[in-house]
Structure 1
């Protein structure tokens, strides 16, 4: 017996309705499997599955392929006009799902990236960001973030990581000097992993393309598709359209060019470690 297909919710949004129409017409055409349809239109099964489930926005060009496969004379093209304008539902949870299986993970962050944060720094950031949250909520968020880090250290690595850290993250204290020594040492240790590259974007570079936000992440998923995620302090936006993703990839490439080399970045991190060690000794 085959695996039971997940329930769809066509009334949730135009995007979910678009996906439900894919399944309806598959079933109406000889109970066609998703894999069979993916082969007909030369598409990734996993990507098509996410679109059918309403998790991913249908990309430009897919509607014509579906109309041709089903002989539906512009049916999907008409619904695409609505689906493409819909803000991404549950965008952060979808981003996390994609990040959990991504093959390449590249990011720029103004502060220490979540995947590299120590427990003490995670707690400090959560408590500052959500000062009215219940301690149980804080603990749940802490546990979730620590669990996300496990993949980074798993061997053999399933993903290639590239982190660009603003120098701001190396000099702004979070907690005591001892907490910062632990945090910066963690970053330095991670940089020695063969599948991790860390660069520092120096303050001396001045203005750059991401000064308007706090984080930009580029993912290459396991099916080879690419997405981008821009995050502020209270909101985020997931981009799937190829033009949007390519635009942000270009911005990320500029950040790489502005950042210090991995070797010089390591030296910059060690200098910050020594500075906080001196501060810790003065406090002792």
Structure 2
């Protein structure tokens, strides 16, 4: 059997990739294994491995330790601000870049859409999706998600259209009190003039997006791209004929969903149920 081959690094891609590549270069030049470097730094080996391969951004405090360990005179400390700014792995960056340009953003999701999540809801969801991540990694993910919401609530926002599966109103994430707060946030979002919110009820039955999510971004100039995401990966679609098919799928979901008014009523009923269930928690 061939020996273990470390994952190739691509320092030319981004500051985060360069940061990780420098760790590996200096580590190997010093004849150190990843395990030994983690011991020297008093840092999680698993987390350090993800930083070296640019899967995770460097956390505060690590750069100083790396400069001390390798005697690099502040190289990592200078790279850190740039690497930290790159909040998303390489495969998501183009989608996120396009999302910041979109004039209209439409989406379907089986859970509460990330742009509509409370901090507490986002933390539980992200922790469930990465059960072995460190506290710093989770905090970074939460901060990145909340930052995406700034455009939704900022000046001159794009047009948003959200279709949420009824499961997002039924599955308890965290506890009833957390869900009550999340339902309140959904109701508030539904009152924004640039937001349309619909619920796809269970009665709609099977549909094209079961098990995943779909986002359509209408860009300046009128072109549209689609983004499909599962629990562990995502796919950006830019070919116009394939995007047109995804548009047709989304339009069908929109027709099957409850009206915005009916959707607000369903969310209100969910809020009432969670509020009732949360009362014993408040008395404890």
TM over 0.5: yes
Cα distance between partner residues in 1 of 2:134 and 2:274: 31
The equivalent of 1:175 in structure 2 is 174
Task: Tell me whether 1:111 sits opposite 2:111 in the alignment.
Answer: yes
Q: Is the 8 A contact 1:217 1:228 kept in 2?
A: yes
Alignment deviations for residues 167-196 of structure 1 (CA, whole Å, 9 cap, x no partner)? 000010011111001101101100100000
Which of 225, 234, 248 is the matching residue for 1:227?
225
Instruction: Determine the structure 2 residue equivalent to 1:254.
Output: 252
C-alpha separation between the residues in 2 aligned to 1:127 and 1:91? Answer: 21
Is contact 1:199-1:259 (8 Å) kept? yes
Matching of residues 51-70 of structure 1 within 5 Å: none
How is 1:90-239 mapped onto 2 (pairs within 5 angstroms)? 90-157=90-157, 159-211=158-210, 213-239=211-237
2:242 is matched with which residue? Answer: 244
* Distance apart, 1:282 and its partner CA: 3.5
Distance 2:91 2:219 in 1: 16
For the Cα contact (< 8 Å) 1:111–1:214, is it kept in 2?
Answer: no
SS in 2 for 1:100: helix
Structure 1 vs Structure 2 CA RMSD: 1.7
**Structure 1 CA distance, aligned partners of 2:187 and 2:137?**
30
| Superposition TM-score, scaled by structure 1 size | 0.67
Cα deviation code 1:32-67 (max 9, x no counterpart): xxxxxxxxxxxxxxxxxxxxxxxxxxxxxxxxxxxx
Structure 1 contact 105–217 (Cα < 8 Å) conserved: yes
- Structure 1 alignment gaps of length 5 or more: 1-8, 13-88
| TM-aligned CA deviation for residue 281 of structure 1 | 1.5
- Matched positions, count: 197
Runs of 4+ in 1 over 6 A off after TM superposition: none
State the TM-score, normalized to the length of structure 2.
Answer: 0.67
Cα shift at 1:160: 0.2
1:224, distance to aligned residue in structure 2 (A): 2.3
Aligned partners of 1:99, 1:133: CA distance in 2, in Å? 26
